[in-house]
Amino acid sequence: KRHDEEEPQCYRVEIIEVVEDKCKEQPPSLPVERVVVDPIDVQEAEWEREIEIFLQQLEDDLEETPKVV
């Protein structure tokens, strides 16, 4: 089905999200599904680590900075 009023990039995101949601329920069996889902999981894990590091640095900075009243 083709929708002329929508941009093609939207379909790519929707397809990736559909495959990702499906693979959460059932592990990917097709190589193309693994290629799509595995990098997303790796990227999300990396972002989580970066967020944790940033929050720890922020917390450390708050503890070191004297409060001015």
The CA dihedral of 45, 51, 53, 54, to the nearest 10 degrees, is: 160
Q: Is residue 3 part of a domain?
A: no
In the block, residue with structure tokens 């559909």 = 18
Q: Is residue 2 part of a domain?
A: no
Q: Is residue 1 part of a domain?
A: no
Give the residue with greater pLDDT, 24 vs 60.
Answer: 60
Contacts 24+ apart (CB under 8 A), 10-18: 16/40
pLDDT value at residue 63: 81
Angle at 52 between CA 33 and CA 20, to 5 degrees: 15
Tell me how many domains the chain contains: 1
pLDDT value at residue 45: 86
Residues of the domain holding 32 = 8-64
CA–CA separation, 48 vs 40, rounded Å?
Answer: 12
- pLDDT digit string (tens) for 22-51? 666 666 566 766 666 677 778 888 889 999
Dihedral sign computed on CA atoms, order 40, 42, 48, 50: negative
What's this model's pTM, rounded to 2 decimal places?
0.42
